[in-house]
Amino acid sequence: MRRRTPDRVPGRTPGPRPRGADRRLDSPAAPDRRDRANTNGARARGRGRSLSDRSAQPADPQVTASDPPVTPTDLGHLPLFEGVPDAELLILAASASRVAYADGETIFEQGDPATTVMSILRGQIVLRSADGDRSTIVQTIGPGELLGWSALRDDATTLTSARAIGQVEVLAFPAERLLDVLATGGASGRLLIRRLIGIATTHLQATRMQLHRAGREGVITGG
């Protein structure tokens, strides 16, 4: 039996089928590139893995995805907040999170918007400063040290690029929430301001010495 072909409209020829016309209607569409970019959330430029994300698969057996929320007591164990009453750290703890980075993972790039302050819990992070196609290691920091303190400036951008050395875990919190704590005034606010100034001075001194050494030894390129 001959199969009846569909009638054609006189004077018209069938054109190519629209792209994607054969795709099943019940098949999930691929996510738009902009949608994928918007899943970064509160993480630093969308990099790293929040330890509270149960869908993430830990790269390190020692890191679990079910760690408890950050508490004021957790913050009080950090050098920056040592001696600050828990009651004054509530607003900061509510917005803080633990984030893990794999070995070699970029935490942020030089020139990125700086909105997050991090305290390193484990591992090391190398900081590089770039000028065109040249880059120089300016500092390597480890547990107990603060990363991203320059985010406390107005319209801040990162001054260096940061990359994980080995498995890294940080405790991250928005710079705006830290400013809220500083704005409360009192003895704790003054203590934190002094400590932040001390951290900035130490980092700048270490950067200056490293750049002097790089000037004598030659500039590291392509890193």
Among residues 64, 70, 95, 54, the alpha carbon closest in space to that of 177 is found at: 95
Q: Report the amino acid identity of residue 102.
A: A
On average, the pLDDT of the chain sits at 75
pTM beyond 0.75: the answer is: no
How many whole angstroms separate alpha carbon 219 and alpha carbon 133?
11
CB 180 within 8 A of CB 188: no
| 8 A C-beta contact, residue 144 and residue 198 | no
Distance from the Cα of residue 125 to its chain's centroid: 12
Q: Would you state the pLDDT for residue 200?
A: 82
Q: What pLDDT, on the 0 to 100 scale, is given for residue 191?
A: 92
Predicted local distance difference test score (pLDDT) of residue 59: 38
Superfamily of domain 44-217: Jelly Rolls (2.60.120.10)
Query: And the tokens for 214?
Result: 């790089």
Residues of the chain with pLDDT under 70: 1-47, 49-67, 211, 214-223
pLDDT number for residue 50: 63
pLDDT of residue 73: 94
Q: What are phi and psi of 219, to 5 degrees?
A: -90, 135
- State residue 54's pLDDT score: 34
Residues 89 and 102: beta-carbon distance below 8 Å: no
Q: What is the pLDDT of residue 214?
A: 64
Reduce the DSSP state of residue 157 to 3 states and report it.
strand
CA dihedral 161, 165, 170, 175 (to 10 degrees): -10
